[in-house]
Amino acid sequence: MSHATTLQPKVTIGLDLGDKLSQTCELDAAGALQGGAAVATTRKGLQQYFGGRARCRVVLEVGTHSPWVERLLTALGHETIVANPTEVYGGRRRKRKNDRLDAEFLARQGRSDPALLYPITHRSTQSQQDLEMARARDQLVRVRTQLINHVRGVVKSAGFRLPKCSAESFATQAARYLPDPLHAALTPVLTLLAQTTTQIRQYDRQLAALIATRYPAAQHLQQPSGVGPITALVYVLLLDNDPTRLRCSRSAGPYFGLVPRLGDSSAASPQLRITKAGDAFGRRLLVSAAQYILGPFGPPCDLRRYGEAIAARGGRNAKKRAVIAVARKLAVLLHHLWITNAIYDPNYQHTPVIDAA
């Protein structure tokens, strides 16, 4: 994506994307309104409106359609700026809001100072496609969990219980202990569960192949305990397979929304929740890895000791704060391992120093 240049564009167009129709607003170099139109949010509609024009600056907000629209406009020769509405508007609500006003707001901000739009860079098409494979697997895992809970709940409500087993083997195990009165209702669900598990395994093989052939960095990032192939691969894909997208490793915390919001005012400095900025899927995987590290099966390491020290302070939600802190530190650690290609030492801060003398 082309970010803002130092030259004032002759024409700046604000593009408020809608699912079916998008609103444009055109400004000249002096900021005078030159008109606008409703454009179909299709490749044909946008090509008809923006094709054949002299190069202009087009400003749009990040959203469902913004990746392909940004690539289309760039291919047509225009300078495109994709605004981050979360940073632009924050929690404020404008008193007057409609598509035309939104398009004009984007155009005026893009014409005067694009930095106020907090422009973002979309991931490459390849990274986005591979990321969608991991997201699809995650959806199937969620569906499988819901189906398992449904079956267990129905059986329990009938006065029976199913034995404990893994999610992968649940369909086979449950079929053996299913009460006769519930066979007709639950056998199709167990069949669907078995099919879902088969598809999840297929996704696992495809994602493992991606790591082996296209994203070797994901293999390197699996060194810390709790970080499996899915977490490592999603981490790499969310950064578009390019660790330099972050200025430094410490930027990983804010990138994944794992840092507290800021609300300092005068002498007041309240403790706020985390920002939850960035991708929710990646943040959830990091938090899950942190829960494993702090859980009963997590081995002793610097990350575990760091989280235990925070939890030991007590106070409200101490354990939750410890998990988030470990997830944030893990995000920073993974970026450091990636950009330096270092070997992970789980006890780096507790390694005794041997005196050579």
Q: Would the pTM count as exceeding 0.85?
A: yes
Write out the chain's pLDDT in tens, 357 residues: 444 444 678 999 999 999 999 999 999 999 999 999 999 999 999 999 999 999 999 999 999 999 999 999 999 999 999 999 888 876 555 555 688 999 999 999 999 899 999 999 999 999 999 999 999 999 999 999 999 999 999 999 999 999 999 999 999 999 999 999 999 999 999 999 999 999 999 999 999 999 999 999 999 999 999 999 999 999 999 999 999 999 999 999 999 999 998 755 556 556 678 989 889 999 999 999 999 999 999 999 999 999 999 999 988 789 999 999 999 999 999 999 999 999 999 999 876 555 444
pLDDT recorded at residue 87? 83
Place of tokens 């090509």: 47
Contact 204, 324 (CB under 8 A): no
Q: Is 6 exposed, middle or buried (0-12, 13-18, 19+ CB in 10 A)?
A: exposed
pLDDT recorded at residue 156? 97
pLDDT recorded at residue 95? 54
Cα of 52 vs its chain's centroid, Å:
36
Of 123, 107, 134, 128, the C-alpha closest to 14 is: 107
Question: For residues 309-345, b (16+ Cβ closer than 10 Å) or e, as one string?
Answer: ebbeeeeeeeeebbbbbbbbbbbbbbbbbbeeeeebe
Backbone phi, then psi, for 141, in 5-degree steps? -65, -40
- What residue type is assigned to position 195 of the chain? Q
How far is the C-alpha of 190 from the C-alpha of 155, rounded, in Å? 13
How many other C-beta atoms lie within 10 A of the C-beta of residue 250?
15
Per the DSSP assignment, residues forming a β-bridge with 79 are 57
How many other C-beta atoms lie within 10 A of the C-beta of residue 79?
21
How far is the C-alpha of 29 from the C-alpha of 18, rounded, in Å? 26
Per the DSSP assignment, residues forming a β-bridge with 81 are 59
**Which region, left, alpha or beta, applies to residue 266 given φ > 0 means left and ψ of -120 to 50 means alpha?**
left
Structure token pair of residue 27:
């400004």
> Largest alpha-carbon pair distance within the chain?
80
Q: Is 235 exposed, middle or buried (0-12, 13-18, 19+ CB in 10 A)?
A: buried
Tell me the three-class secondary structure of the chain, residue by residue.
CCCCCCCCCCEEEEEECCCCEEEEEEEECCCCEEECCEEECCHHHHHHHHCCCCCCEEEEECCCCHHHHHHHHHHCCCEEEEECHHHHHCCCCCCCCCHHHHHHHHHHHHHHCHHHHCCCCCCCHHHHHHHHHHHHHHHHHHHHHHHHHHHHHHHHHCCCCCCCCCCCCHHHHHHHHCCHHHHHHHHHHHHHHHHHHHHHHHHHHHHHHHHHHCCHHHHHCCCCCCCCHHHHHHHHHHCCCCHHHCCCHHHHHHHCCCCECCCCECCECCCCCECCCCCHHHHHHHHHHHHHHHCCCCCCCHHHHHHHHHHCCCCCCHHHHHHHHHHHHHHHHHHHHHHHCCCCCCCHHHCCCCCCC
